[in-house]
Amino acid sequence: MEPPREPGPDPAGGSAADRSTPLKVEVKLFAAFLAYLPAPDPQGATTLDVPEGTTVDDVARRLGIPVDLARVVLVNGQDASPGRPLAPGDVVAIFPPLAGGVGGGAGRAAAHSPSASSSTESISAPTSSATPLA
């Protein structure tokens, strides 16, 4: 039987939290964010082992996505805040913004007009439920 260990730093080189069982999460990147995948993947996806308590923002940082880049994130198909903790098996989808700018310019008015002539016009305005992580 081993004698009790004295309090202090963990001799194994990390805290108990650092040694927690990793969670597997799937991360899907889209459009310009595909460049941040750790390895090229035709599906734009990768599986990461992350420690318990990892957040949406932690995953973006781990992939090297700059903090100042606006993004829309879904976890399991629902809007997710930057501080949302992840659970085993979560699917994190990270998109660049679908449209830029704020305010009610002519493009925004056209997007809500019943006479919008293309599907691009009708989807160009961001939804109120989008959650940028910048």
In a domain, 109, yes or no: no
Element counts in the chain: helices (H) and strands (E): 3, 5
In a domain, 1, yes or no: no
Cα–Cα distance measured from residue 52 to residue 109, given in angstroms and rounded to the nearest whole number: 44
In a domain, 95, yes or no: yes
Cα–Cα distance measured from residue 92 to residue 110, given in angstroms and rounded to the nearest whole number: 32
In a domain, 78, yes or no: yes
Structural domain of residue 99, as residue ranges?
A: 20-103+114-122
In a domain, 134, yes or no: no
The pTM of the full predicted model, rounded to 2 decimals, is 0.59
Interval 99-108: pLDDT, tens:
655 554 444 3
User: How many domains are contained in the chain?
Assistant: 1
Closest of 80, 59, 77 to residue 131, by C-alpha = 80
Residue spans of the chain under pLDDT 70: 1-20, 99-134
Q: What is the CATH number of the domain that holds 75?
A: 3.10.20.30
In a domain, 93, yes or no: yes
Residue 83 confidence (pLDDT) = 94
In a domain, 35, yes or no: yes
Residue 97 confidence (pLDDT) = 84
Q: Which two tokens stand for residue 8?
A: 């202090």
